[in-house]
């Protein structure tokens, strides 16, 4: 079992901001929570907390993120972007896009799924949880938490996820061999920084169009309503065309893919 190592991650990441400070932990409750504690005592933008395991890994809306030791990536990045709170959603999309880029660099075709998932062959390989604190409409800080299943074996996926195991995968399962977690973490930080800097220099539109290219838009989904996932808007919200032709804008929710209907064929 390889061990996470700050110097090895830094060596693999050609970055100027993200990962200048990397705090490698053994077991934590949640890397987002650990980084929030550091933020309260003055952590700098770009600080990363990464852990071998989490005892209370968080998904959205209180859901768990299964975080067994020594096989995956659980990391959180502190960002302090000079953005309006409305941009926070786009930063979550940025996280999933960076994971998809890092997977592509391993020769794997990855898809992003609104709002926070990365899928390979339709199965979830990574998830993003961003937690933001804002004042007067502006982001004070945003903690971008990313979990990626790397060297997780099928039998562990099955025992952790039970009935949902068929919807999850890992890079090892896809490639047929394990990967170097430090190298993957470095690559991911590099991809994140490239998107983050481009976002600041050119605004959100180029990022959103890259996200669209890697997404499942165009398929039939159920969110709270059923319709076609048509697009994302400039704030990163999902636009769903309903069967009556109207469009609904969705800020939060779980998107379930549905079979295609005759009208789509």
Kindly list the residues in this chain that would bind ligand BT5 in the complex (CB under 6 A).
30-32, 54, 57-60, 63-66, 74-76, 116-117, 124, 127-129, 145-147, 149, 161, 164, 168
Where would I find the H helices in the chain?
A: 6-12, 31-40, 88-104, 154-161, 171-175, 181-202, 205-213
The CB-of-116 to ligand BT5 minimum distance in angstroms stands at: 5
Residues 42-62: b if buried by 16+ CB within 10 A, e if exposed:
ebebbbbbbbbbbeebbebee
Please, what is the Cα angle at 38 between 34 and 43, to 5 degrees?
Answer: 140
Say how far apart CA 76 and CA 79 lie, in whole Å. Answer: 10
The CB-of-136 to ligand BT5 minimum distance in angstroms stands at: 27
The CB-of-138 to ligand BT5 minimum distance in angstroms stands at: 24
Which C-beta is closer to ligand BT5: that of 161 or that of 194?
161
| Structure tokens that stand for 227 in this block | 């319709």
Length of the chain: 265
The CB-of-229 to ligand BT5 minimum distance in angstroms stands at: 16
Which C-beta is closer to ligand BT5: that of 160 or that of 198?
160
The CB-of-142 to ligand BT5 minimum distance in angstroms stands at: 13
The CB-of-156 to ligand BT5 minimum distance in angstroms stands at: 9
Cβ-contact 82, 138 below 8 angstroms: yes
Which C-beta is closer to ligand BT5: that of 86 or that of 124?
124
Which C-beta is closer to ligand BT5: that of 122 or that of 206?
122
| Structure tokens that stand for 190 in this block | 């590099």
Which C-beta is closer to ligand BT5: that of 15 or that of 76?
76
> Which residue minimizes CB distance to ligand BT5?
127
Where would I find the H helices in 105-162?
A: 154-161
Which C-beta is closer to ligand BT5: that of 241 or that of 253?
253
């Amino acid at each position: 079992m390889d061990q996470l190592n700050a110097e090895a991650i830094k060596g693999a990441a050609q970055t100027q901001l993200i990962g200048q400070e990397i705090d490698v932990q053994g077991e934590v409750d949640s890397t987002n929570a650990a980084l929030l504690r550091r933020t309260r005592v003055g952590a700098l933008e770009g600080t990363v907390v990464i852990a071998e395991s989490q005892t209370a890994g968080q998904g959205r809306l209180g859901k768990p993120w299964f975080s067994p030791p020594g096989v995956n990536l659980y990391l959180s990045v502190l960002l302090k972007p000079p953005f309006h709170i409305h941009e926070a959603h786009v930063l979550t999309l940025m996280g999933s896009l960076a994971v998809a880029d890092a997977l592509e660099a391993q020769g794997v075709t990855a898809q992003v799924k609104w709002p926070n998932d990365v899928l390979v062959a339709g199965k979830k390989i990574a998830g993003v949880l961003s937690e933001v604190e804002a004042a007067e409409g502006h982001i004070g800080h945003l903690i971008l938490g990313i979990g990626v299943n790397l060297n997780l074996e099928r039998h562990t996926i099955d025992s952790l996820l039970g009935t949902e195991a068929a919807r999850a995968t890992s890079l090892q399962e896809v490639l047929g061999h394990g990967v170097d977690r430090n190298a993957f973490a470095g690559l991911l930080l590099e991809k994140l920084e490239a998107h983050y800097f481009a976002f600041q220099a050119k605004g959100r539109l180029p990022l959103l169009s890259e996200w669209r290219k890697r997404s499942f838009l165009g398929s039939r989904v159920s969110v709270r309503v059923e319709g076609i996932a048509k697009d994302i808007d400039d704030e990163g919200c999902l636009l769903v065309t309903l069967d009556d032709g109207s469009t609904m804008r969705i800020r939060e929710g779980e998107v379930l893919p549905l079979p295609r209907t005759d009208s789509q064929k």
